[in-house]
A and B are shown apart, each in its own frame.
Chain A
Amino acid sequence: MTGISVTFGGIKALTDVSLTVEPGQVHGLIGPNGAGKTTMFNVACGLVRNSEGTITWRGQELRRLRPAQLAGLGIARTLQGVGLFPGLTVLENVMVGAHKHARAGFFSALFAIPTSDRDDARLRERAMTALAELDAADYAGRYPGSLPYPVQKRVALARALVAEPELLLLDEPASGLSEDEMHELGTLIGHLSGRMSVLLVEHHMDLVMRVCDQITVLDSGKQIAAGTPQQVQNDPAVTEAYLGDAVDDTTDVSELAGTDGGTHRG
């Protein structure tokens, strides 16, 4: 993503931000509240249109990207909060995540042709594998509303992973988690990075510093630093943004556009 700018009603939420996620790497996107992290994320997903700049994926420029196309391109994302389907069981939630792997079509379902059953069994198996990987297989038959928040987050992650993406976009995966759970999450993200690229938006500095290979720091919609965790940590601009009086009210506009699907902010 190069030179991304986003304007909401005359207010610049993002100004000329560029970042590149290298294959197999974990890229962190951090910044104070209202810095434009989620907006940047939503641009990457096609939920928000960038007014300037280009998005390139696998060497091709993505124009007029629609969210429903992401999965087909090998990009999966989790939502801030959890965004699970409340009326579907945990297993079904994850099976929906495997949507792009489904083969059986409408008519085989209508007439209950056995291929439809077999196809569904295949999706169920994929979903169970993903749930087992995240230690959530025991909850397969439950409804998300009845589960503790950390488990819901794991299920949401399983739903993203079951699509076997090449790029995984994680929007504040650690929000609402305890220290221990965050530690486990860090280990998990470390495992994932071998299989896919990860773009991570996160508040928790220790997690970001631990798992990320590269970090981009935003403040007030501008990119103020980029580099390895060490480089970023030692950057005076970053220290100022976090400790100084950098958070001012006007920058909160990006939150207004945060399409977090009706779920609460962590």
Chain B
Amino acid sequence: MSDLQTPASSPASGAATSDAPTTATAASNASSVQATGGRTLLPRNTLLRHLLVLVLCAVGAVILLESTDLGFNAQIGYVAFYAIAAGGLTLLTGLNGQISLGHGALMAVGAYTTALLLDVEEPLPLVVIFLAAIALTSLVGAVVGVAAARLHGPYLAGATLALAVGLPGLALYFRDFLGGEQGLTVSSPDRPDWFVEGIRTLSGNSASGVKWIAYIAVACLLVTYFLLANLMRSRIGRTWRAVRDQEVAAELSGINLGTWRVLAFLVSAAAAGLAGAVLALVVRLTAPTAFTIVLSLSLLTAIVIGGLGSLLGALIGSALLVFLPRALRDAGESLDMDAAQAAEISYVVYGVILVLVMLFAPAGLVGSIRLAWMKQRARRAGARTRG
């Protein structure tokens, strides 16, 4: 777990000063965190800083993948696609203040695109397929975003809910093409020779198909978080937050609210599309039952638990989503419950844990830690001025 958390820790903490959640504002009463500067060993240049973190995270991810068994590798794949989608959603909801219950459906667009494009004699290169999945999902996202830009709060939730409910239904309607309830089986892409060779020299492990897909998933996650962190740190992220906080003032500053909302939705949808593509590879099946409202709600849960507007939070939330129910089930079985009982009780405990987190850390895990850190700093700064 601790290795797992390293991937986006620094992009997120790099953005820490800029993406303080709204709740942080109230609690930061005594704080004086400099927006720039401060003691840091990281380079000031955003590109260098984020690239450095990216490389460190990539190294950490390789170590993690090579020191664990294939079963765990597969679970990392699950965490990766949840985290990619949650990262996009935390940008939309945390930074821009738009809620979406339709991200599960957007993932379906990416997943079905990937499944269809892989299901041919000579499939295109994987990168091209992923880009196609992203492009198509972005297009759908932009259309939804145009409608969403005019809606607020519960109305927006309702509109995106319609997407979540309606879109998977298409698979049933176009049964011949999209496979109906059974869905489409996704053919695994071939592992390239260099990958097999590389893994053998690196760790001596055999490079199975599962491992190849886990690597693809983690690579997608890292690239996505790199790009999202870039956006969040930049003027683009700042403008999104301004639109979220105070519409009239943002508009008077020359910001076209609609354009920026649609842009946020588009970026978020692009991430969801890639997440869907990765899901198709990891799960090897795209069926309508995988993309119900439950998936959308899980993503929202992940970003809220982790801390809205934080990529690290989205990653931690996604990891909890994957590992917590499993860990609970294992714990139940070790307490002499049979598998069915353990599975049932694990959901109850899972729910209780979620409620407790929301009670005691309403700003999410990352948000609450950040608040505590800011308070600490403020106290120290206060002591210094007094002393």
| Chain A residues engaging chain B, CB cutoff 8 angstroms | 45, 47, 66-72, 76-77, 79, 83-89, 91-93, 95-97, 99-100, 102, 104, 106, 109-114, 116-117, 119-120, 123-124, 140-146, 159, 163, 259-262
Contact = CB atoms under 8 A, between A and B. Distances in A.
B25 A96 contact: no
Interface stretch (B43-51, B79-87, B275-283, B297-305): B43-51
A71 B35 contact: no
16 contacts: A66-B256, A83-B249, A85-B245, A89-B17, A89-B35, A92-B18, A96-B242, A104-B234, A109-B236, A141-B32, A142-B28, A143-B28, A145-B25, A159-B253, A163-B253, A261-B246
Contacts of B287: none
B33 interface: yes
Contacts of B239: 96, 99
B287 to A, nearest CB: 33
A88 B263 contact: no
B32 A85 contact: no
A112 B245 CA distance: 25
A77 to B, nearest CB: 6
B238 A96 contact: yes
B357 to A, nearest CB: 22
A35 B303 CA distance: 48
Given A87-B22, A116-B235, A146-B28, A70 B252 contact: yes
Nearest to A160: B252
Nearest first, the 8 closest Cβ-Cβ pairs linking A and B are: A71-B254, A109-B234, A261-B248, A85-B245, A112-B47, A141-B34, A112-B230, A67-B251
Contacts of B31: 142-143, 146
B252 A71 contact: yes
A76 B35 contact: no
A68 B233 CA distance: 23
B293 to A, nearest CB: 29
Contacts of A97: 253
A109 B234 CA distance: 6
B257 A79 contact: no
Of A47, A91, A110, the most chain B CB neighbours within 10 A belong to A110
A261 B252 CA distance: 11
Interface of B: 17-18, 20-22, 24-26, 28-36, 45-47, 50, 227, 230-231, 233-236, 238-239, 241-242, 244-257, 263
Contact of A68 (B22, B231, B242, B251): B251
B47 A141 contact: no
A141 B34 CA distance: 4
Given A84-B246, A143-B31, 18 more contacts: A68-B251, A69-B254, A85-B242, A87-B21, A87-B24, A88-B242, A92-B241, A110-B231, A112-B47, A116-B234, A117-B45, A119-B235, A141-B17, A141-B33, A143-B20, A146-B28, A146-B29, A261-B248
Contacts of A104: 234-235
A55 B244 CA distance: 30
Nearest to B45: A117
Nearest to A89: B35
Nearest to A162: B253
A47 B234 contact: no
Contact of A87 (B36, B241, B248): B241
Nearest to B26: A145
Contacts of B251: 66-68
B254 A70 contact: yes
A114 B25 CA distance: 30
A71 B253 contact: yes
A89 B20 CA distance: 9
Contacts of B50: 112
Contacts of A261: 246-249
Nearest to A156: B249
Contacts of B36: 91, 124, 141
Contacts of B25: 86-87, 143-146
B246 A83 contact: yes
Contacts of B21: 87
A83 B41 CA distance: 36
A66 B250 CA distance: 13
A68 B246 contact: no
B46 A84 contact: no
Contacts of B47: 111-114, 117
Contacts of A68: 251, 254-257
Contact of A86 (B22, B234, B248): B22
A137 B238 CA distance: 19
Contacts of B257: 68
Nearest to A97: B253
A86 B230 CA distance: 22
Of B30, B33, B230, B252, the most chain A CB neighbours within 10 A belong to B252
A122 to B, nearest CB: 11
B34 A87 contact: no
A109 B246 contact: no
Contacts of B30: 146
Given A96-B253, A109-B235, A117-B46, A79 B248 contact: yes
Contact of B35 (A91, A96, A260): A91
Contact of A112 (B46, B242, B246, B252): B46
Given A95-B238, A110-B230, A112-B46, A87 B244 contact: yes
B142 to A, nearest CB: 13
Nearest to A45: B252
A167 B195 CA distance: 63
A123 B245 contact: no
Nearest to A93: B242
Contacts of A112: 46-47, 50, 230, 233-234
